[in-house]
Amino acid sequence: MAILHTVNKSPFERDALESCLKHALAGSSVLLFEDGVAAAVDGTAYADQIKGAMENVSLFVLGEDLKARGLGEHKLIDGITVVDYKGFVELAGKNDTVQSWL
């Protein structure tokens, strides 16, 4: 089974991302959206953890939420894929289940 994990919380505020990464099996996908996009930026206190996770899981970030928060795509960790809502829908369809880390 392949899971799309969605994280909508900043790692600076909640443990959703940390818990998600602890439970995301190799081959699964993680989409950062809403306040969760903060974790996609390089140079943050969580960047190394994200980079480590990216050896096993694919990281995506919702472009509209980045843009809304004034976070440019040039600031992202290398290898994170920017998707739009259409891409979000495609990810949800491509994976077998969607697990929201609320």
Partner 1 sequence: MKFSILINEGPYQHQASDSAYKFIEAALEAGHEIFRVFFYHDGVNNSTRYTVPPQDDRNIQVRWSELAEKHDLDMVVCIAAAQRRGILDENEAQRQGKDGDNIAPGFRISGLGQLIEAGIQADRLVTFGD
Partner 2 sequence: MSDVKKFLYVNRKQPYGTIYALESLEVVLIGAAFEQDVSLAFVDDGVYQLTKGQDPSGIGMKNFSPTYTALGDYDINKIYVEKESLEARGLTIDDLQHLTWEDEDEDWAEKDSIRVVSASEMAEIMDQQDIVLSF
Q: List residues near partner 1 by CB under 8 A.
A: 6, 8, 33-35, 64, 84-86, 88-90, 92-93, 97-98, 100, 102
Stretch that binds partner 2, among 13-21, 34-42, 43-51, 54-62 (CB under 8 A): 13-21
Nearer to partner 2, 7 or 38 (CB): 7
Check residue 56 for interaction with partner 2 (CB under 8 A): no
Q: How far apart are CA 89 and CA 94, in angstroms?
A: 9
* Residue 79 interacting entry, from partner 1, partner 2, none, C-beta within 5 to 8 Å by type: none
Site size toward partner 2 (CB under 8 A) is 17
Alpha-helical regions (H) of the chain? 16-23, 47-53, 63-68, 85-94
Q: How far apart are CA 10 and CA 68, in angstroms?
A: 15
Check residue 69 for interaction with partner 2 (CB under 8 A): no
User: Do 54 and 81 contact (CB within 8 A), yes or no?
Assistant: no
The angle at the Cα of 45, spanning 13 to 34, to the nearest 5 degrees, equals 45
Q: Which residues of this protein are in contact with partner 2, per CB under 8 A?
A: 1, 3, 15-16, 19, 22-25, 28, 96-102
